[in-house]
């Protein structure tokens, strides 16, 4: 008996030491501890810097552009920093996978589904179908622009009404519903009032998930067994409740579509997907071992819920955060806000007694507004890293061995804050995007939407939404802080993405 126990103990010890070792070609990084690996190292850095993305930059300063971390029992995490290394990683198809950790499955009903955290054929099929279908309903064309403008004008009307009662304390919630409406019109054929309590609750749920998570997957990915021991302390209980609430909300919307849809008529993305589900069920069959026929449902309802969930979350969070940061920076930098106002007045001034609505066709005639948006995007780093990638095969990256299933993060902040390129990266200076002729100039070092095959599929919608919403808001209002408001912390609030700080805003109508 004792011999067996001793043998097991020795085997367990050897296993721990083997997992703890760092192979010769493994990327450099902190040594860490057995079992927990670098969890405590990362926690210490985040406590010091207040942000995960700042911690990644600190590690890059110490160890170089490729840093290897071992976090609990999960596969190693590789942090890739600097423009050359980031481009190399994000451009290679062998790194186009997505991790398969516990949290990545939990978020979509226990299996990897949707478009954000899938790869291979599932990802390609779902992404292709989503893009094609959304484009049929106006995604990326003039119809989409009209939808966004309609929501932007409604937002300005709401802000004007609220401003009569004093400082606005919930501007973030109001703009998030307006931003969502543009996409939700295509996805679900519906719009929400800007103060709809049901939607406000769901947006609060989404915000809670994003603010209380990070791109590493957190302790539930590093040591997933802890959810059985301390579900409350690990955040599992609250996360599961929030994910269930989100799943129920979208599921009820799909149930409504099933009851109200007319066969052969398509109102929105959900209708088309439901029709595709029926087609697959009726036409996709294979033979089982006993010769009987069985259905292969390639587009199950759980996949539909997951795709809509991804569109819902990704379509609101980063765009709304960017708009919030732009307003916040312009509140602090009143001289920049004044220049934007002057440019908008000059280009979109009174024509036949009526202001022109901002439209994409006028975008090139508003270089300073474009430069301001670009500079806030660079400094705010709403998405400071890529969504985690996964190595699909064993590979070599800049001389280091990256084994299959390692996770990789592209540190976009390291590119946006590179001192050698930007010179004064911590300084808010929109003029860095303006040339000698006064034209807006794109900078290839600004890559907020990522690169390669996994580049954000909603980039065009996000860019147009930010431009149109911001242009409409600044055409109508000057934004300032109320008297006595505490100083703003422009770095924002950490989470899976970076959110603007909570502030009260005075919206002064411009005459």
pLDDT tens digits, one per residue of 37-95: 999 999 999 999 999 999 999 999 999 999 999 999 999 999 999 999 999 999 999 99
The pLDDT of residue 354? 54
Tokens of 88: 């190399």
* CA distances from residue 257 to 199, 253, 261, 266, 341 in whole angstroms, order as listed: 18, 6, 6, 10, 44
**Poorest-pLDDT segment among 146-150, 231-235, 300-304, 353-357:** 353-357
The pLDDT of residue 21? 58
**Poorest-pLDDT segment among 139-143, 243-247, 249-253, 290-294:** 290-294
**Poorest-pLDDT segment among 17-21, 89-93, 174-178, 322-326:** 17-21
* Mean per-residue pLDDT over the chain, rounded: 89
Evaluate whether 404 touches 394 at the Cβ level (below 8 Å). yes
* CA distances from residue 355 to 107, 148, 217, 306 in whole angstroms, order as listed: 45, 18, 48, 42
Residue 429 has pLDDT above 50, yes or no: yes
Residue 292 has pLDDT above 60, yes or no: no
Residue 286 has pLDDT above 50, yes or no: no
* CA distances from residue 477 to 63, 94, 425, 442 in whole angstroms, order as listed: 47, 48, 29, 27
| Residue 210: count of CB within 10 angstroms of its CB | 19
The pLDDT confidence band at residue 137, using thresholds 50, 70 and 90, is: confident
Please compute the mean of the pLDDT values over residues 349-366 and round it to a whole number: 78
Q: So what CATH class is 1-95+385-411?
A: alpha beta
Is 7 marked as a binding-site residue? no
Alpha-carbon distance of 175 to 484, in angstroms, equals 24
- Dihedral of the CA atoms 459, 463, 464, 469 (nearest 10)? 130
Residue 500 has pLDDT above 70, yes or no: yes
Evaluate whether 356 touches 362 at the Cβ level (below 8 Å). yes
The pLDDT of residue 352? 39
Please compute the mean of the pLDDT values over residues 434-458 and round it to a whole number: 94
Tokens of 201: 């609750």
Please compute the mean of the pLDDT values over residues 24-42 and round it to a whole number: 93
Higher pLDDT, 411 or 174: 411
**Poorest-pLDDT segment among 189-198, 323-332, 491-500:** 189-198
The pLDDT of residue 245? 95
Higher pLDDT, 281 or 237: 237
The pLDDT of residue 283? 52
**Which residues of 358-402 form beta strands (DSSP E)?**
389-390, 395-397, 400-402
What is the tens place of the pLDDT at every residue in 167-220? 999 888 889 989 998 889 889 988 887 777 778 888 889 999 999 999 999 999
Residue 329 has pLDDT above 60, yes or no: yes
* CA distances from residue 276 to 115, 139, 254, 295, 499 in whole angstroms, order as listed: 17, 19, 14, 14, 37
What is the tens place of the pLDDT at every residue in 153-167? 999 999 999 999 999
The pLDDT of residue 511? 72
Alpha-carbon distance of 281 to 80, in angstroms, equals 43
Please compute the mean of the pLDDT values over residues 326-353 and round it to a whole number: 88
pTM of the model: 0.92
The pLDDT of residue 140? 66
CB-side neighbour CA atoms (13 Å) of 392: 12
Instruction: Find tokens 């095959």 and name the residue.
Output: 453
Please compute the mean of the pLDDT values over residues 242-260 and round it to a whole number: 94
Please compute the mean of the pLDDT values over residues 331-358 and round it to a whole number: 85
The pLDDT confidence band at residue 17, using thresholds 50, 70 and 90, is: very low
Residue 347 has pLDDT above 50, yes or no: yes
Which residues lie below 8 Å from residue 131, measured CB to CB, with a gap of 6+?
A: 139, 457
Residue 235 has pLDDT above 80, yes or no: yes
Task: Give the residue from 57, 64, 68 showing the smallest Cα distance to 25.
Answer: 68
The pLDDT of residue 486? 86
| Residue 288: count of CB within 10 angstroms of its CB | 9
- 267 alpha carbon, distance to own chain's centre: 27
Residue 284 has pLDDT above 70, yes or no: no
**Poorest-pLDDT segment among 10-19, 68-77, 208-217, 365-374:** 10-19
């Amino acid at each position: 008996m004792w011999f067996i126990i001793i043998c097991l103990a020795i085997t367990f010890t050897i296993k721990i030491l083997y997992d703890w070792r760092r192979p010769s070609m493994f990327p450099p990084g902190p040594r860490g501890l057995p079992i927990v690996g670098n969890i405590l190292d990362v926690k210490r850095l985040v406590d010091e810097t207040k942000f995960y993305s700042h911690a990644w930059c600190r590690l890059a300063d110490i160890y170089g552009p490729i840093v290897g971390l071992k976090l609990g029992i999960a596969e190693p995490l590789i942090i890739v920093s600097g423009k050359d290394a980031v481009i190399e990683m994000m451009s290679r198809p062998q790194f186009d996978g997505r991790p398969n950790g516990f949290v990545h499955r939990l978020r979509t009903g226990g299996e990897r589904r949707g478009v954000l955290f899938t790869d291979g054929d599932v990802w390609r099929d779902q992404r292709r179908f989503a893009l094609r279908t959304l484009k049929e309903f106006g995604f990326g064309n003039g119809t989409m622009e009209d939808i966004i403008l309609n929501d932007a004008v409604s937002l300005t009307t709401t802000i004007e009404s609220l401003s009569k009662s004093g400082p606005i304390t919930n501007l973030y919630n109001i703009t998030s519903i307006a931003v969502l409406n543009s996409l939700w019109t295509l996805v679900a054929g519906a719009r929400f009032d800007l103060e709809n309590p049901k939607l406000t609750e769901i947006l609060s749920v989404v915000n809670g998930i994003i603010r209380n998570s990070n791109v590493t997957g957190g302790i539930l990915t590093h040591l997933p067994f802890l959810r059985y021991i301390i579900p409350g302390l690990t955040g599992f209980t609250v996360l599961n409740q929030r994910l269930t609430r989100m799943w129920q909300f979208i599921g009820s919307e799909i149930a409504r579509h099933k009851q109200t849809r007319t066969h052969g008529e398509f109102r929105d993305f959900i209708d088309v997907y439901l029709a595709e589900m029926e087609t697959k069920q009726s036409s996709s069959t294979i033979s089982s071992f006993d010769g009987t026929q069985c259905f292969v449902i390639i587009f199950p309802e759980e996949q539909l819920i997951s795709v809509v969930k991804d569109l819902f979350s990704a379509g609101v969070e980063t765009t709304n955060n960017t708009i919030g940061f732009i307003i916040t920076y312009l509140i602090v930098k009143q001289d920049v806000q004044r220049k934007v106002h002057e440019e908008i007045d000059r280009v979109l001034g009174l024509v036949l007694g009526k202001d022109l609505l901002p439209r994409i066709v006028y975008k090139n005639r508003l270089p300073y507004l474009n430069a301001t948006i670009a500079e806030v995007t660079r400094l705010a780093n709403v998405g400071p890293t890529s969504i985690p990638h996964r190595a699909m095969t064993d590979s070599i990256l800049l001389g280091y061995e990256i084994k299959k299933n390692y996770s990789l993060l592209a540190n976009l902040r390291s590119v946006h804050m590179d001192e050698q390129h930007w010179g004064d990266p911590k300084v808010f200076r929109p003029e860095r995007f303006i040339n000698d002729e006064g034209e807006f100039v794109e900078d290839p070092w600004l890559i907020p939407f990522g690169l390669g095959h996994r580049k954000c599929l909603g980039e065009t919608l996000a860019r147009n939404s930010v431009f149109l919403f911001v242009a409409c808001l600044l055409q109508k209002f000057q934004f300032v802080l109320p008297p006595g408001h505490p100083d703003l912390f422009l770095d924002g609030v950490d989470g899976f993405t970076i959110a603007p700080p909570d502030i009260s805003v005075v919206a002064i109508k411009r005459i």
